[in-house]
Amino acid sequence: MSLSLVAMMATGPRRPSAIDIIWYCGLAWLASGGVRYVMWFALLLMPLYAEQLAALIPYRTAPRVPRAVAIGFGVALLLLVVALLPWFEPARYFGAGDEGIYASSGRYNTLMASTTPVSATEWLAQNPIDGRFWVDMSQSSYTIWRLPEKQVFTDLRVELFPPDVWRDYFAIARGNDYSLLLLDEWEITHVMLDGRWQRNLHELLLATPGWCEQYQDGRAVILARCET
């Protein structure tokens, strides 16, 4: 797709501006070096493609839309926007099938995904555990917000942590013998993980003397070092 855009820029009737080329080359370079930048590159491609395609399509006068139809469309769009505002709890439109989409507890649970560890962090706030804390990165942002006094192993601000830390994070998440070695090296005293996606680590710690499950809600799991 990106190569076809280059061909259109080079041979099409509309030549790209200097700004177009700078944006394209800059984001293409970033996307080639990091997966997280691919989304930004893809977003840039759409308007550039639109400009090139517009130059290939003959100009046509838009048909006149009756005033009543235009007003009706505007009103319908406004009602749709209002209906999806968080104050109207749009999750209830899904009926009984929304349990797996949103957080299971909390005052604003319909604004948070089911992976948000609302209940787990509440339990941890009431039952604090000392020491270093390893947490699944998908749960880290909410954990930092709810428990600002705790220092998590990593979080979604990927660029703040050196590559060695990320290698150890993913090695721990795999749930093998090397995971136990790293937990000891980092002196991790408790972990919070996703019971569905990190089942290997969960089962490994359950079977390891010196680790005990402290909390479980069907999604988030908290395990801590204990005396056996």
Report the pLDDT averaged over residues 161-185. Answer: 94
Instruction: Give the CA distances from residue 147 to residues 95, 137, 198, in Å, rounded to whole numbers and listed in that order.
Output: 32, 15, 22
pLDDT bracket for residue 109 (50, 70, 90):
low
Report the pLDDT averaged over residues 135-158. Answer: 90
**CA-CA-CA-CA dihedral for 31, 34, 38, 39, to nearest 10:** -140
**Which range among 28-32, 101-105, 169-173 shows the weakest confidence by mean pLDDT?**
101-105
For the chain, the first-to-last Cα distance in angstroms comes to 59
Q: What is the DSSP string of 58-71?
A: PP-PPPPPPHHHHH
CB 140 within 8 A of CB 173: no
E-strand ranges in the chain read 132-135, 188-194, 211-216, 220-225
pLDDT single digits (tens) 49-100: 888 888 888 777 778 888 899 999 999 999 999 988 877 767 667 665 555 5
- Residue of 88, 135, 144, 141 lying closest to 113 (CA atoms): 141
According to DSSP, the residues that pair with 216 across neighbouring strands are 221
Q: In what order do the strands lie in the sheet with 132-135?
A: 132-135, 188-194, 220-225, 211-216
**Which range among 31-35, 40-44, 116-120, 218-222 shows the weakest confidence by mean pLDDT?**
31-35
* Whether the predicted model's global pTM rises above the 0.85 cut: no
Report the pLDDT averaged over residues 25-51. Answer: 85
